[in-house]
Amino acid sequence: MFSPKKAIVFLLSLFIITGSCNQNKADNNYAPRTPPPVAKIDGYIVGAEVLSNKIEIPGTLEPFEETNIQPEISGKVTGIFFNEGATVNKGSVMVKLYDADLQAQLKKIQVQLAISKKTEERQGELLKINGISQQDYDLSLLAFKNLQADIDILQTEISKTSLVAPFTGKAGLRNISMGAYINPQTIVTTIRMLNQLKLQFTVPERYSSKMSAGGKIQFKIDGVATAFPATVIATENNVALDTRSMKVKAVVNIQSNRLYAGSFAKVQIPISTNEAALMIPTQAIIPQARGKKVMAYRNGLASLETVTTGVRDTSMVEITSGLKAGDTVLISGLLTTKPKSKISLNTIRSH
């Protein structure tokens, strides 16, 4: 058995050991912890830039001039003077029809005209000396004038046997052969003015007031990233009742071997221009149930800001309220960054 003295010593030792353990636990609980690392986030500096609000409408590139070459009269082809796909100058003969019979009639009447002219001159001399009556002279003059008119008619008929190019352009495929008998319904070929193109498209009624002669537009074609300029030259004078749209014609201002008649075009029509639009990357927008927010960088801390957006394209969106030029928004780490948390900007982009 323990003596009272030994019992007291044992209890004191146990108390000291227990207190020491508790003290160690307390020291461990209140030991300073290592602060979490500051997140490195990518940022974007908001800046003012020019924003053009535009709509895109389908259109078609067409030759500036295009027409079918067809005869005015029926006849046999005696000459073909153009090559398929070749350039034909304005006024040059492309096809010749048989006209030997007309030429013979012309020569006959020309001989008659020469005799009639001499008869009219002799009758005029006799009239001066009262050798014939005024009526006799008038009849000879009338005969002369009739022959002149007959020659004009024949020359007109002969001119119809020559099919000439109405303008300088490229000839299409030939649909006739030498010796073929053709009529006014026969399409010999097609000629197109390809050194200049026009652009045909229609615009909705609400945008018709923005289309006027001299207006500048742009268009793109598939496979080419560059936009091409065009100028409006004419508009239809009414809005179609079935489509509520208006036809517009524009001339393409440049020549390019990438532009072909018949190509589909995406016409870009400017609606409005903002000279100081605030644009940020679309990935900076945080969709919310009631509106949109962005995470802004404010004095080293993340700040959740409510914004209003405007025009959007594939990579950028316009901010109409909630930010100002010079602000910095976060474009990475948005899911892990909490408001008022410390952040460090890793990279900074600007417009």
pLDDT over threshold 60, residue 22: no
Q: Which residue has the higher pLDDT, 30 or 347?
A: 347
Which CATH number goes with the domain that contains 224? Answer: 2.40.30.170
In a domain, 2, yes or no: no
Tell me if 248 is assigned to some domain.
yes
Boundary residue ending a domain (148, 182, 216): 182
pLDDT value at residue 1: 47
Q: How many angstroms separate the CA atoms of 194 and 153, rounded?
A: 36
Q: SS3 for 139?
A: helix
Whether residue 206 sits in one domain with residue 60: yes
- Residues 6 or more apart whose CB falls under 8 angstroms from that of 254 comprise 228, 229
Task: Say how far apart CA 106 and CA 129 lie, in whole Å.
Answer: 35
The CATH number covering residue 337 comes to: 2.40.420.20
* pTM as predicted: 0.57
What 3-state DSSP class applies to 131? coil
Residues 263 and 238 in one domain: yes
Encoding tokens for residue 326? 């010079």
**26 occurs within a structural domain:** no
> Burial letters for 215-232: b for 16+ Cβ neighbours within 10 Å, e otherwise?
bebbbbbeeeeeebebeb
Q: Answer yes or no: do 268 and 286 share one domain.
A: no
Tell me the Cα Rg of the chain.
46
Same domain, 201 and 269: yes
- 102 found inside a domain: yes
Report the SS3 class of residue 275.
strand
Q: Which residues pair with 176 in a beta bridge?
A: none
Q: Is residue 19 part of a domain?
A: no
pLDDT tens-digit series, residues 195-253: 889 999 988 888 787 788 888 888 999 888 889 999 999 988 888 888 888 899 999 98
Same domain, 59 and 198: yes
Q: Is residue 11 part of a domain?
A: no
Residue 187 counted as domain residue: no
Q: 94 with 149, same domain?
A: yes
Would the CA dihedral through 339, 340, 344, 347 be positive or negative?
positive
Find the domain containing 296 and state its range.
41-51+275-350
pLDDT at position 2 over 70: no
pLDDT the model gives residue 181: 96
Which CATH number belongs to the domain containing residue 74 in this structure?
2.40.50.100
Q: Is the predicted pLDDT of residue 193 greater than 80, yes or no?
A: yes
Answer yes or no: is 86 within a domain.
yes
Question: What is the residue-averaged pLDDT of the chain?
Answer: 85
User: Among residues 253, 273, 293, which one ends one of the domains?
Assistant: 273
**Last-in-domain residue among 182, 215, 242:** 182
Query: DSSP per residue over 253-271, as a string?
Result: -S--TT--TT-EEEEEEEE
Residue 282 and residue 262 in one domain? no
Query: What is the three-class DSSP state of 234?
Result: strand
Q: How far apart are CA 70 and CA 197, in angstroms?
A: 23
The tens digit of pLDDT for each residue in 293-336 reads: 999 999 888 899 999 988 777 788 888 899 998 899 999 888 88
The total domain count for the chain is: 3
**How many CB atoms are closer than 10 A to CB 343?**
20
pLDDT tier at 55, thresholds 50, 70, 90: confident
**Residue 341 reports pLDDT greater than 60:** yes
